[in-house]
Amino acid sequence: MHDADQPDPSGHAGFGLSILAGAFYFQYVVGLLPCQLCLWQRWPHAAAVGIGLAALATRWRLWPWLGALATLVTAGIGLFHVGVEQTWWEGLATCTVDAMAGVSGDDLLNMDVAVGGPVRCDVVPWAMWGISMAGWNVIASLGLTLVWLVAATRKD
């Protein structure tokens, strides 16, 4: 199905891309390494960007529904992450990132090389107005889900 009246989803893809860019900024410029749940939250955003680009190319009416699903999934992962941060529930036993990846045995013995530990999912490394990055992801993702749903239900 190809629908020329489908709303322009370029903003949807752009917003998802800006969320990813923000995550990479905090990781590579600010130096905040992501935990495993942080990394999981990025994948649905990347999928939503791809869906937005596919929607631009094909104007298929199901793309906005898939975009809404992708952003709802990342909001769900983010909500779980917030619960772990706030100790509402236990995190995953494997909720760490391998901060030792790329570190050789010689590096471990070299006192001049800084070697970090795993990043914990239950620690809030940054917050704004008392809301962690995971919390902001939930808020932004739910807002983006609404935008996708408006596009999906729009009758032009």
pLDDT of amino acid 2: 44
Helices marked H in the chain — which ranges? 10-25, 36-58, 63-85, 105-109, 133-153
Q: pLDDT value at position 61?
A: 85
Joined together, the tokens standing for residue 61 give 């009416």
pTM (2 d.p.): 0.74
Span 75-85, average pLDDT: 94
Judge contact between 33 and 119, C-beta under 8 A.
yes
Q: Distance (Å, rounded) from C-alpha 91 to C-alpha 35? A: 11
What's the rounded Cα separation, in Å, for the pair 48 and 71? 7
**What is the pLDDT, as a whole number, of residue 1?**
43
Cα–Cα distance between 3 and 63 in angstroms, integer?
11
pLDDT in the model for residue 82: 95
Domains of the chain: 10-92+122-153 (1.20.1550.10)
Structure confidence at residue 120 (pLDDT) = 79
pLDDT at position 119 is 77
Q: Which residues contact 62 (CB under 8 A, 6 or more apart)?
A: 1
pLDDT of residue 106: 59
Residue 89 or residue 115, greater confidence = 89
Give the residue among 14, 136, 11, 120 at the shortest CA–CA distance from 75.
136
Average pLDDT over residues 79-100: 78
Please state the rounded mean pLDDT for residues 63-81.
94
Mean pLDDT within 116-138: 83
Position 139 pLDDT exceeds 60: yes
User: DSSP string covering 73-90, please?
Assistant: HHHHHHHHHHHHHTTSS-
* Mean of all residue pLDDT scores within the chain: 80
Which among 81-90, 106-115, 118-127 has the top mean pLDDT?
81-90
